[in-house]
Every structure is written in C-alpha cells, then in structure tokens.
C-alpha cells in the first residue's frame, strides 16, 4: 500500500504594531508586546520554544534598543532620538 501525506505550513499573521513613544533620555519599555496583534494558525501568538509558539529575535538592533523576553521593546536611558 502507498500512503500520501501533505503537511500544510503554519499560517502566521504578523500585524504591524504602533508601540508609541518613549523618551530616549530616560528610557523605558513599551506597554505592548511586538506580538500583541499577531496570530499563528488563527490563534493569538505566544512567545516560547514549544511547538505552536513563536520566537522573537532582534536582528541588527540599534544601540540602546532591545527586546525583552515578553516581546516588549526596551529603550535604554540616553538612547538618541529617532524612529526605530
């Protein structure tokens, strides 16, 4: 007997987020996570390393900008003003 199996790709809906403004002089953290509006297979995305979860990783982030484990953006004190 011959069996056939098709594996469908996961459907990711990554929505652009407006994270607001943080004072670069004092620094701070966004109130929303980068995945706040995102879904994976029509379910709210969850950050983690288990199957069905997503991983967030910053690539070439400017000095003073980082991403916390919960997906919130952290601006260090004394970060130059600008749109990041």
| Residue 83 clears pLDDT 90, i.e. is over it | no
Please tell me the pTM assigned to this model: 0.81
In this structure, which long-range contacts are made by residues 27-32, counting pairs with CB atoms below 8 Å and at least 24 apart in sequence? 27/64, 27/74, 27/75, 27/76, 27/77, 27/78, 27/79, 28/74, 28/75, 29/68, 29/72, 29/73, 29/74, 29/75, 30/72, 30/73, 30/74, 31/72, 32/72
In this predicted structure, what is the pLDDT of residue 8? 92
pLDDT digits (tens, 9 = 90+) for 23-81: 999 999 999 999 999 999 999 999 999 999 999 999 999 999 999 999 999 999 999 99
In this predicted structure, what is the pLDDT of residue 84? 83
In this predicted structure, what is the pLDDT of residue 70? 95
């Amino acid at each position: 007997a011959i069996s056939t199996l098709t594996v469908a790709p996961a459907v990711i809906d990554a929505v652009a987020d407006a994270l607001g403004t943080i004072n670069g002089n004092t620094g701070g953290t966004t109130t929303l996570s980068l995945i706040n509006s995102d879904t994976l297979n029509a379910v709210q995305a969850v950050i983690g390393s288990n199957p069905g979860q997503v991983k967030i990783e910053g690539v070439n982030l400017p000095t003073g900008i980082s991403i916390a484990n919960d997906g919130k953006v952290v601006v260090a004190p004394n970060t130059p003003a600008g749109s990041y």
